[in-house]
Structure 1
C-alpha cells in the first residue's frame, strides 16, 4: 500500500548555520533512472544543493523557505539539476502560493469540506507504482459534488494531495502519471471554473509545480466536455500535449495501463475505499508539515506579476525577471 515517510517539520530559516544532512534513500533502480534521465549522481546532487541553499540565503526577497534536501530536490530533479532554472522554479512556486492563497494555502485534511471531497473518492493516488516507477494520481469527476463544493475547495484538495507526495524521492525521479475519469461530468462541474481561472490555473501548474508530468489519461469524456477539453488543450505546452491520451472507455485505458493497479471498481485488486482510507493516514500524519508551508514567504512588493494579461509569456517572466541577476558565487 501507499507509504510516505513522515518527516519532521523542516526549518524555514533561509540562513541557518548548519543544514540538515542528507542520505540518498533511492534504490539502485531509481538511482539508474536519476543518472540516465536527470544526470544525477552524488557529486552533482551535493554541489547543486549547496549552490541552491547559498542562492536562497542571499536572495533579497525570499524571507522564509524550506532548505531541507527533500524539498529542494523537488526543484532540482524537475529541472534536471540546472541550478539557475531550479531557482526560477522555486521563485514561481513561492509566488503562486501567495498570489492565489484560495488555491494553494490552508491545505488542511481536517477541513470538513476537503476531507469530504477526499472521502468521496474524487482524487487519490493509487497505492502501487506503474512499471516505470511512477506514482499514479487517479481522479473521478462524478464523485465531486459540484452543487455543494467550490472550485477553490477542489483546487485546495488537489494541492494538498500533491504536496503530500512531492517529498517522495522515487516520484521526484520517475515522475507522475494521471488518470482522469470524466464519466459523469456535468454542466455544474464545467460552470465551476471561469475561462480566466482555467487559464490562470493552467499557468500555475505548468510553470510553478516541481513535478515531472509524464502521462495523462482522460477516460469517458462526455460530449458536453469537448469544448472545455479543447480549450484546456490549447493552454498546455506541446510537450505536455504529446503526453496526453484520450481513452473512450475503461477497456481502452487498460490497454495502456496495468489494470491490476486500478481500483476494483475499474477491474483492479484493491477497492477505492481501502485505497483512500490508507492514504488518509498519510494526509493526517503530514498535516502539520503541509500547513507549515504557509509560513514560507517571498516579498512580492516592487516586483508585481501581471497575471490578468492575455500574454501567456507574463507568467514565464513575471517576478523572475526581477531576480535574473542573482548569482551564486
Structure 2
C-alpha cells in the first residue's frame, strides 16, 4: 500500500530519511529549535504525510518542533503523560477503534456530550489529544492510510456549545497551528452525526481555521447512520453509542498505548 499510495520504496525511504535528518541538523545549528526525536518511525510519519517530498516534510516537522517549544504548558509532565491520557480516555470522550475503516484508515470516535466545555482545561485537552496522536502514529499502517474522525454531537446543548465557542476562541491561534501546519497525519474525513440545528455555529467557528482541502473533508450526516456504514465500515465495528453493536473496552487502547510507550523507552525515546 505504501508503494502504491506514496511512491515509497526502500531506496526512496532511506534517502529521504537521510536528507531529512541533514536538514534537521542544519536547522538545529541555528539554535532556534530542537528536534526531540530522529528515529525512523518518527521521520517516516512526516515523509509519508508529504509523499516523500523532503522539503515539505521538513516544513511540518519544523512546525511541530516550534509548537513544542512555544507551548510548554501543553507538554508539561502533568498534562502530557500516559496518566493524563488514561484519565481522559476513560471518560469515553475519545476512543480509537481497534478496526480500521474499509480504506484501512484509523477511526477516532468523539462523543461530545461527555464533555462540559465550561469546565474543560484547554491545555490538558490538547495535550491528551497530542499524546494519543503520537501513540497512533507509531503504527506504520496509520502513517500510510491516515485517519477519519466520527463525531457524535447529539446531546450537545446550546449552553455547552457556547462553552465550546469560548473554549476554542481563547486558543484559536493554537488550533490553527496544529490543524493546519503541524499534525503529520493524513485526515481522510470528519463525519458529524446527530447534529443539532445550531451546528452551523460550530462549523462557522472551525472552518475559517482550515485549508480548503480540509474543509472539503467535513461531512454532516445527521441521523443517517446507514450512510455512514456504507461509506466507512459496517455497524458491527462501531460501539452502541455510535449506532453499532461492538463493545469497546477502554483498557484495550490504554494497554496498547502503554506497550508503545514502554517499547520506545527501551530505545531511549520519549513521546
Pairwise TM-score range, normalised by the shorter structure? 0.7 to 0.9
Q: Following the alignment from structure 2 to structure 1, what is the Cα–Cα distance between the partners of residues 48 and 70?
A: 25
2:120 is matched with 149
* 176, 185, 195: which one aligns with 2:169: 195
- What pairs with 1:196-235 in structure 2 (closer than 5 Å)? 196-235=170-209
Matched, 1:284 2:258: yes
Q: Secondary structure at the match of 1:110?
A: helix
2:5 is matched with 37
TM-score (norm 2): 0.86
* 256, 268, 271: which one aligns with 2:244: 268
2:68 is matched with 97
- What pairs with 1:120-139 in structure 2 (closer than 5 Å)? 120-139=91-110
Q: Per-residue deviation at 1:37?
A: 2.3
Count of residue pairs brought into register by the alignment: 258
Residue by residue over 1:42-79, the C-alpha shift from the partner in whole angstroms, topping out at 9 and shown as x without a partner, is 11111111111222233313445311110000110111
Residue by residue over 1:228-252, the C-alpha shift from the partner in whole angstroms, topping out at 9 and shown as x without a partner, is 2122112211111111110112524
TM-score (norm 1): 0.72
Q: Per-residue deviation at 1:168?
A: 1.0
Q: Is the 8 A contact 1:221 1:248 kept in 2?
A: yes
- What pairs with 1:1-329 in structure 2 (closer than 5 Å)? 33-59=1-27, 60=29, 61=31, 62-106=33-77, 107-111=80-84, 114-186=85-157, 187-188=159-160, 189-249=163-223, 251=225, 252-258=227-233, 259-272=235-248, 274=249, 276-287=250-261, 289=264, 293=270
Cα 1:194–1:172, aligned 2, differ >3 Å: closer, same or farther? closer
Q: Following the alignment from structure 2 to structure 1, what is the Cα–Cα distance between the partners of residues 210 and 223?
A: 24
Q: Is the 8 A contact 1:104 1:155 kept in 2?
A: no
Q: Is the 8 A contact 2:261 2:270 kept in 1?
A: no
Q: Following the alignment from structure 1 to structure 2, what is the Cα–Cα distance between the partners of residues 175 and 134?
A: 5
Structure 2: give runs of 5+ residues left out of the alignment. Answer: none
Q: Secondary structure at the match of 2:107?
A: strand
Residue by residue over 1:131-151, the C-alpha shift from the partner in whole angstroms, topping out at 9 and shown as x without a partner, is 111111111001124354322
Q: Following the alignment from structure 2 to structure 1, what is the Cα–Cα distance between the partners of residues 172 and 150?
A: 19
Q: Is the 8 A contact 1:109 1:115 kept in 2?
A: yes
Cα RMSD, aligned residues only: 2.3
**Which structure exhibits the higher relative contact order, with contacts defined as CA atoms closer than 8 Å and separated by 6 or more residues?**
1
Higher helix fraction: Structure 1 or Structure 2? Answer: 2
Q: Per-residue deviation at 1:105?
A: 4.6
Q: Following the alignment from structure 1 to structure 2, what is the Cα–Cα distance between the partners of residues 284 and 180?
A: 25
Greater shift in the superposed pair: 138-147 or 45-54: 138-147
